[in-house]
A and B are shown apart, each in its own frame.
Chain A
Amino acid sequence: MAIAGLAAVPQQSHRPHGWRRWLFATNHKDIGSLYLWFAFCMFLVGGVLALCIRAELFRPGLQFFQPELFNQLTTLHGLIMVFGAIMPAFTGLANWMLPLMIGAPDMAFARMNNWSFWLLPPAMALLLLSFVVPGGAAAAGWTLYAPLSVQLGMGMDLTIFAIHILGISSIMGAINIVVTIINLRAPGMGMMKMPMFAWASLITAYLIIAVMPVLAGAVTMVLTDRHFGTHFFNAAGGGDPILYQHVFWFFGHPEVYIMALPAFGIVSQVIPTFARKPLFGYTSMVYATSSIGVLSFMVWAHHMFVTGMPATAQLFFMYATMLIAVPTGVKVFNWIATMWEGSMSFETPMLFAIGFILLFTIGGLSGVTLSVAAVDVQLHGSYYVVAHFHYVLVAGALFSLFSAVYYWFPKMTGKMYSERLGRLHFWWSLLWFNVTFFPMHFLGLAGMPRRIPDYALQFTQFNQIASVGAFMFGLGQLIFLVNILYSLRHGKTAAQQPWEGGNTLEWRLPTPAPYHSFSEAPQLDVAENGVVVAMQGGKHG
């Protein structure tokens, strides 16, 4: 079985075999693998939905999908990618790597860990099931704005329950990460010496704990408006439709950083390794990440510049949003300073990390453009926004995830991935990603609204280019799948230290990482960013 390969360490006993190993999993590596495979499957499902959207938009006119189904496709594409693919993938990586990087025997709450993963499949099943109930799936966009979401059929109820379940899962996963990092670090691994990936995961986990309940509240209010006679979002009953947007984006903006901060963490591990140099400005990285976390709570209404806020509110949220560019800029400069005067090599993880920096910077700069409220009046709700957040989430979050999987694949499996296929995957993705999403900037500027199944004729060319790009990009992800499946079976045996510059704790473990690692904590002498200077003791098994 493919999953088994990701954590196969035959010599160790006392673990269940067969399906019990996965259903009753309490080992952080098993659970991490479950998360990663699940996220990849959802990535493919969400990707197929995206291709349906791009197929419909290849030409003006309605060809394949009626508008109501088209709206369901865009809604579910967003929800599945955010809650089914990106968030679980980061949780999976944190599960797999955090204990290894900080010298912990496992995650703090092993059984809760099992529960937080196994809540995901039923939640996603509810979401997918909603396509076949009367009225179809939720069709209000992933933001589920009221009052539109109050109007929809029972697919919306399934979506609300799915979000509740996903929220419980994320919160439990986040609590596990916080407790593990705070309590289970090996002696010598001080907070200000932890790897950036641990810092990023910690801050992300706090954000999740803070905002997932807010989302649950928002959708519960929609639920009671739908069925129990409340009027939170109905002016006729004393409510306010805009209240929904305030509550949603109080969740929604930190959510953006929930999907971006772990990416920052990964890149902060990968770049130093392949530049063979310590991370530049570790302390300022920690502070920049923390301040991004704090600022992310103060900018939510920049998603609402055209709702008709008073000028003072527009100005406050505009300034606060622009301010986020400062710590984000610091991070980008730090990564480049890490590369500067390094001794770089360009294996696949490094390629994806560099691709991340480049394209994330474009997404960040278009974010600055959007933050200027007066310009946002033209760009809000247009394809420019679609381009912007795909630069941040695909070239940002997704590229960093690919970087991470290639980077840690040898440690996880004991096998090397195919470097040739890895590089092909990178260059292919880089090219077709830009072909898909760069033209969307032009479409938005020229006046094409998002979430429409059909468009005016002057938007045809760029839509066609984007559609071709999307199909090619989608195809390219099969290269990744083939690489992983092939390498699990036939990959070359990986060395304990496959990367010359890899000097954080996980590279001190045997390859593949033993099923039970650090059952006795090692005594560490650690430098910044988790670089191990010396290690004593630390038994496995």
Chain B
Amino acid sequence: MSCRYLPGRTAASSLLACTAMQARGAAINLQAPATSLARLEYDLHTMLLLVTGGIFLLVLAVMLYAIVRHRKSAGHAARLFHENTTVEIIWTLIPLLILLLIAWPATRAVLNQKSTRGEELTIKITGYQWKWRYDYLDDNFGFMSHLATPASAIAGTAAKPANYLLEVDEPLVVPTGRKVRLLLTANDVIHSWWVPQLGIKQDAIPGFLRDAWFMVDTPGIYRGQCSELCGKDHGFMPIVVEARSPEDYARWRDARLKQAAASADDPTRVWTLAALRERGEKVYGQNCIPCHQANGKGIPGSFPALDGSPVVNGDKAGHINIVLNGSQKNPAMQAWGKQLSDTDIAAVISYERNAWGNHTGQLVQPAEIRAARAGAAS
């Protein structure tokens, strides 16, 4: 993997990168940088590796020499010295000096990472359990990005695709050569947005905004993962960034804007049960499955079953309330009203009330959700 990045790197890092393991496809070094930040980090790491590796070899050599020569079985008698102020001062000062030499480029790198000004595009990233949302603040549209690897591949009943666990339904698309500023936050717990090749890892913290930046050099697809434990499916919320040329990006953005306008749900539309169920099943699959499971049985002890649940089979208002506003008792049940549209919530509720062993025959229209929201607000 990292062999691709060999030209221009130091001899030492090439020595490190090309081993037998490398030949079999396992990377042993940082991924090939695709931004100036990642390059900075890569070079800094290579320097640290050389410095610390050198120190280690030195320590090892002196120790091995002593072990071989100054052993009792070799007839060596102990010399009972136990102090030497000069030597002790020297080996305090030399490490200090080395650290000062490291601190200089390290400081510049930190300041560089932090300089988020002069952005040409701002994207807000929100971490959810367990997916990401990207909002293009300049153009006023956004979308969710979910894991695209099928559950059967994870369970081992189907073959694993090449980008197993590193593929999403909707990648974050950015233009190359433009400074992109990210604003990060989260909806529930702390997540962390990490794309190694872009040189970014930034925690997304609920209730707070953090920022970061990157500028991709060349078009390509860059993959990463959430890197802060965020609960059950922490390992299953990948990040995919697709960098396109500015012209390509503009085309994509325009298409996206048109599509958003076209597919905007008419909140007054009256749906049929079949149409709502079909849509609801999709919404359920993207949002509810991790906890309540595909069969609606939940996970006993942690997440309640929906199949046969008194809430789902009971009064509509109670069902709408818990989906819209979350559960007081169990904080893992979020207030979905904050992230799903009226139509999506109506659809998923209608689906749940008519799936598995639930046969209420009832459907909930988007207008009812809007009314429930208004009722809660007043």
Q: Of B52, B81, B154, B207, which contacts A368 at CB under 8 A?
A: B52
Q: How far apart are the CA atoms of A382 and B228 in the complex, in Å?
A: 9
- Using an 8 Å CB-CB cutoff, how does the interface string of A269-295 with B read, 1 for contact, 0 for none? 000000111111111100000000000
CB closest chain-B residue, reference A322: B99
A71 within 8 Å of B (CB atoms): yes
Q: List 24 A-B contacts (CB under 8 A).
A: A61-B156, A235-B207, A236-B207, A242-B208, A277-B80, A308-B202, A318-B106, A326-B95, A336-B63, A345-B72, A345-B73, A357-B63, A368-B102, A373-B110, A374-B44, A374-B109, A378-B38, A378-B41, A378-B45, A381-B194, A381-B227, A445-B30, A451-B235, A461-B24
A residues 122-154 in Cβ contact with B at 8 Å = 133-136, 139-141, 145, 147-148, 150-151, 153
By a beta-carbon cutoff of 8 Å, the part of chain A in contact with chain B is 60-63, 66-68, 71, 133-136, 139-141, 145, 147-148, 150-151, 153, 234-236, 240-242, 275-284, 306-308, 310-311, 314-315, 318-319, 322-323, 325-326, 329-330, 332-333, 336-346, 354, 357-358, 361-362, 365-366, 368-369, 372-375, 377-378, 380-382, 442, 445-447, 449-462, 528
B111 within 8 Å of A (CB atoms): yes
B280 within 8 Å of A (CB atoms): no
Does the CB pair B302–A135 fall under 8 Å?
A: yes
Q: Of A62, A275, A310, A442, which contacts B27 at CB under 8 A?
A: A442
With A365-B55, A377-B199 known, 19 other A-B pairs at CB within 8 A are: A63-B156, A136-B301, A139-B231, A151-B189, A153-B301, A277-B78, A277-B82, A280-B84, A332-B59, A336-B63, A354-B63, A366-B52, A374-B110, A375-B106, A380-B201, A446-B26, A447-B224, A456-B163, A461-B25
B62 within 8 Å of A (CB atoms): yes
B-side contacts of A380, CB under 8 Å: 201, 227
Q: Of A153, A315, A340, which contacts B110 at CB under 8 A?
A: A315
Q: Of B24, B63, B226, which contacts A339 at CB under 8 A?
A: B63
B-side contacts of A337, CB under 8 Å: 84, 87
B-side contacts of A307, CB under 8 Å: 203, 205, 210
Q: How far apart are the CA atoms of A277 and B331 in the complex, in Å?
A: 62
Does the CB pair A241–B301 fall under 8 Å?
A: no
Does the CB pair A375–B44 fall under 8 Å?
A: yes
Q: How far apart are the CA atoms of A151 and B129 in the complex, in Å?
A: 12
CB closest chain-A residue, reference B334: A151
Does the CB pair A461–B21 fall under 8 Å?
A: yes
Does the CB pair B45–A373 fall under 8 Å?
A: no
B-side contacts of A62, CB under 8 Å: 154-156
B residues 337-360 in Cβ contact with A at 8 Å = none
B-side contacts of A67, CB under 8 Å: 232-236
A-side contacts of B323, CB under 8 Å: none
Q: How far apart are the CA atoms of A61 and B60 in the complex, in Å?
A: 40
A147-B206, A148-B189, A311-B111 are contacts. A280–B234 as well, Cβ < 8 Å?
Answer: no
B residues 73-100 in Cβ contact with A at 8 Å = 73, 76-84, 87-88, 91-92, 95-96, 99
Does the CB pair A340–B29 fall under 8 Å?
A: no
CB closest chain-B residue, reference A244: B190
B11 within 8 Å of A (CB atoms): no
CB closest chain-B residue, reference A339: B66
Does the CB pair B165–A148 fall under 8 Å?
A: no
B304 to chain A, nearest CB (A): 11
- Using an 8 Å CB-CB cutoff, how does the interface string of B95-138 with A read, 1 for contact, 0 for none? 11001001100110111111000000000000000000000000
Does the CB pair B207–A457 fall under 8 Å?
A: no
- Using an 8 Å CB-CB cutoff, how does the interface string of B261-291 with A read, 1 for contact, 0 for none? 0000000000000000000000000000000
A-side contacts of B77, CB under 8 Å: 343
10 closest residue pairs by CB, A with B: A235-B207, A452-B235, A374-B109, A308-B210, A365-B52, A446-B27, A381-B227, A134-B301, A442-B28, A343-B78
Does the CB pair A381–B155 fall under 8 Å?
A: no
Does the CB pair B225–A449 fall under 8 Å?
A: yes
B residues 224-262 in Cβ contact with A at 8 Å = 224-236
Q: How far apart are the CA atoms of A235 and B52 in the complex, in Å?
A: 41
Does the CB pair B164–A457 fall under 8 Å?
A: yes
Q: How far apart are the CA atoms of A240 and B21 in the complex, in Å?
A: 44
Q: Of A61, A329, A345, which contacts B91 at CB under 8 A?
A: A329
Q: How far apart are the CA atoms of A333 and B91 in the complex, in Å?
A: 8
A-side contacts of B162, CB under 8 Å: 457
A61-B155, A329-B95 are contacts. A241–B207 as well, Cβ < 8 Å?
Answer: yes
B307 within 8 Å of A (CB atoms): no
A-side contacts of B109, CB under 8 Å: 372-375
B9 within 8 Å of A (CB atoms): no
A276-B72, A337-B87 are contacts. A282–B235 as well, Cβ < 8 Å?
Answer: no
B200 to chain A, nearest CB (A): 7
Does the CB pair B83–A372 fall under 8 Å?
A: no
B-side contacts of A344, CB under 8 Å: 66-67, 70-72, 76
